[in-house]
Amino acid sequence: MSPLPDLICPAGSLPALKAAVDNGADAVYLGYKNDTNARNFAGLNFDTKTMADGIRYAHGKGREVLLAINTFAQAGRVADWQKAVDAAVDQGVDAIILADVGLLDYARNRHPQQRLHLSVQGSATSYEAINFCQREFGVRRAVLPRVLTLAQVEHVIKNTTVEIEVFGFGSLCVMNEGRCWLSSYACGESPNTVGACSPAKYVKWDKQPGRMDTRLNGVLIDRFGDDEPAGYPTLCKGRFEVQGETYYALEEPTSLNVLPILPDIIKIGVRAIKVEGRQRSPAYVTQVTRTLRAALDALKDGGERYHVKPAWQAELAKVSEGSQATLGAYNRPWR
Amino acid sequence: MNANFTIPRFRLPAFVASLGHKLPQWPHTLALVAALNAALKMKLLPESELLLLEDKLFRVRVNDTGGEASYTYRNGMFRPVFRPTREPDLAFAANLSAYLQLLARQEDPDTLFFNRELEITGDTELGLIVKNMLDAIELPRLPRLPLTSH
């Protein structure tokens, strides 16, 4: 059996960071309060002071802090992203998670000692792309987009010495990560430009008798009956009329949950498992971290008797988007 | 309190709400506003985000008790609004158990929203600011009473 992968948990605030550390995360990932990261939501994330407090707390308990600077530097403002990289190095984060090749190049040249990870937003799905980032920028770990089957993940791992991190739990989207402009189609802003998908100022939940309408910049994207579970107000999870039928034409509101295939993920040599959800509350971070920690620990001694406990699944199902979970691409038949 | 204590999901019987509608709304409105102002006094709420709440009208409705409270934030204080003359900028509606679970940090608002146990209407960005502001509060750790520690 391969060694246990690190459990990487999200932190949108200091209490969330502490919840992750206290419940068994090996590392937390976070971002600054600006558009240098892809969860740039009002009131979320860290300033220099809370970041310093967070790093102190995590390091005090022997855990790592990974900083996401995972949006693309905008024309005329490249210095803002470079400053974020410099600040992260100054603050002593264990690694910086980058997507923009220009920034990777900057970080590599300016701070050759700094550990760099390739963000999921970097959209590298092949070992050739990952090995390129290793050769050119010294990338030590790559986070894979959520579009690969388990066999494809294994193929990547066999052909690179870069550590591979995959997603283990969290909301799914259409997953054209780092290349998605759907949000811009409706409201002119998307993760790649402002660091947020479907920014809240464009979202309207309109309560009507017996139903709730979701509008994104005035465009009706979904309509829920009173007893139907809801999801995030993104275009990819909207219901659309296609050839006379109205349904989730792109992606259903759902969350990824890899517990049933956790032994296989470990066997193929995945180095780290990431939990999505920096926009979520400390309660979510507590619940998900605790559950994944318990599952990983159950595999510590070879995991011959590993079975997914119903209590774990119930806990994760409850916090899932649309109240449902899936194995995502991992078990799809496509190649 | 026992660390394993969890607030169950419950719904009060319908007659409570029908009774609640007939009761005056000022006692719990004052209680809520007093609690928010106490949090202000303890400097638990970040000033940069408080500025964004200025003059906004909020409404918190508890479906199964029939209670609701409207309040605003003006000149550094939360203030009750007993007779709102306009629609709130931001409105929450949920059963009592959902609010208790939120306050105890037992459930995440997104979870309650996905499960349709929490309704948020009005200015969504304002809702996100409030949610993230509450999430970022570092709750003081309560001292353990000798009786409950083993």
Residues across chain A: 335
Query: What are the pLDDT digits (tens) for A128-145?
Result: 999 999 999 999 999 999
**Cα distance between residue B108 and residue B102, in whole Å:** 6
A303 reaches B (C-beta below 8 A): no
Residues A87 and A136 in one domain: yes
Residues A140 and A271 in one domain: yes
User: Is residue A231 in some structural domain?
Assistant: yes
- Nearest Cα to Cα of residue B32 among B82, B76, B106, B97: B82
A-chain residues near B132 (CB < 8 A)? 12-13, 41-44
- Residues A241 and A122 grouped into a single domain: no
Q: What CATH number is associated with residue A140? A: 3.20.20.70
Separation CA A193–CA A195 (nearest Å): 6
Look at residues A213, A247, A281 and tell me which one is the last residue of a structural domain: A247
Name every residue in B having a CB less than 8 A away from some CB of A.
49, 52, 105-111, 113-116, 119-121, 124-125, 127-133, 135-139
Rg (CA), chain A: 19
* B121/A207 CB distance under 8 A: yes
Domain boundaries, given as residue ranges, for chain B: 22-135
- The Cα–Cα gap between A117 and A140 comes to 6
With respect to residue A233, please indicate whether it lies within any of the assigned structural domains: yes
Total-model pTM? 0.91
How far is the CA of A202 from the CAs of A177, A184, A197, A292, in angstroms?
21, 11, 10, 34
**Within this chain, do residues A70 and A33 fall inside the same structural domain, yes or no?**
yes
pLDDT number for residue B4: 61
- State which H helix or E strand residue B72 sits in: strand B67-74
* Chain B residues lying within 8 Å of A205, measured CB to CB: 119-121, 124
Q: Residues A290-308: pLDDT tens digits? A: 999 999 999 987 777 899 9
In degrees and rounded to multiples of 5, residue A79 shows phi and psi of -60, -30
How close is the nearest chain B Cα to the Cα of A46, in Å?
A: 10
Over range A275-287, report the average pLDDT: 95
Q: How many Å lie between the alpha carbon of B127 and the closest alpha carbon of chain A? A: 9
Q: How far apart are CA B46 and CA B64, in angstroms?
A: 32
The beta-carbon neighbor of B110 closest among A224, A227, A280 is: A280
Task: Give residue A265's pLDDT.
Answer: 95
Task: Give the pairing of strands A163-171 and A255-257.
Answer: antiparallel
On whether both A36 and A140 belong to a single domain, the answer is: yes
Say yes or no: A76 and A149 in one domain.
Answer: yes
Q: Which of A187, A163, A177 is nearest to A256 (CA)?
A: A177
Q: Are residues A74 and A212 in the same domain?
A: no
Contacts of A207 in chain B (CB under 8 A): 119, 121
Give how far Cα B30 sits from Cα of A39, A49, B80, B131, B133, Å. Answer: 35, 34, 7, 21, 21
CA–CA dist A88, A80 (Å, integer): 12
What span, in angstroms and rounded, lies between the C-alpha atoms of A86 and B41?
A: 36
pLDDT at position A149 is 93
* CA atoms of A162 and B35, how far apart (whole Å): 51
Average of per-residue pLDDT across B55-77: 92
Confidence of residue B25 (pLDDT cuts 50, 70, 90): confident
Considering the domain architecture, whether residues A243 and A258 belong to the same structural domain is answered as no
Question: Does residue A155 share a domain with residue A300?
Answer: yes
**What is each CA distance from A254 to A225, A320, A321, B20, B124, in whole angstroms?**
17, 7, 5, 37, 21
Query: For residue A275, what pLDDT is reported?
Result: 98
Q: Considering the domain boundaries, does residue A199 fall inside one?
A: yes
**Residue after which a domain boundary falls, among A219, A247, A275:** A247
Measured CA to CA in angstroms, residue B3 lies from A137, A182, B80, B106, B142 at distances of 47, 44, 34, 12, 11
Dist. CA A88–CA A109, nearest whole Å: 15
Question: How do residues B74-126 score in pLDDT, each as one tens digit?
Answer: 999 999 999 999 999 999 999 999 998 988 889 999 889 888 899 999 999 99
Full domain range(s) for residue A212 = 182-247
Does some domain include residue A177? no
Q: Does A280 touch chain B (CB under 8 A)?
A: yes
Percent of residues in chain A assigned helix, strand, coil, to nearest 5: 40, 20, 40
Q: Which fold would CATH assign to domain B22-135?
A: Nonspecific Lipid-transfer Protein; Chain A (3.30.1050)
What is the three-class DSSP state of A8?
strand
Q: Number of folded domains in chain A?
A: 2
Q: Are residues A77 and A199 in the same domain?
A: no
Condensed to tens digits (0 to 9), the pLDDT of residues A152-208 reads 999 999 999 999 999 999 998 887 888 899 999 999 999 988 989 999 999 999 889
Q: Are residues A263 and A239 in the same domain?
A: no
Closest CA to A140 of A85, A66, A56, A55: A66
Cα B79 from Cα B55, distance rounded (Å) = 10
ipTM of model = 0.85
For residue B140, name the pLDDT band (cuts at 50, 70, 90): low
Residue B136: band (very low, low, confident or very high) from pLDDT cuts 50, 70, 90:
confident
pLDDT on residue A334: 61
Query: What is the model's pLDDT at position B1?
Result: 44
Same domain, A296 and A223: no
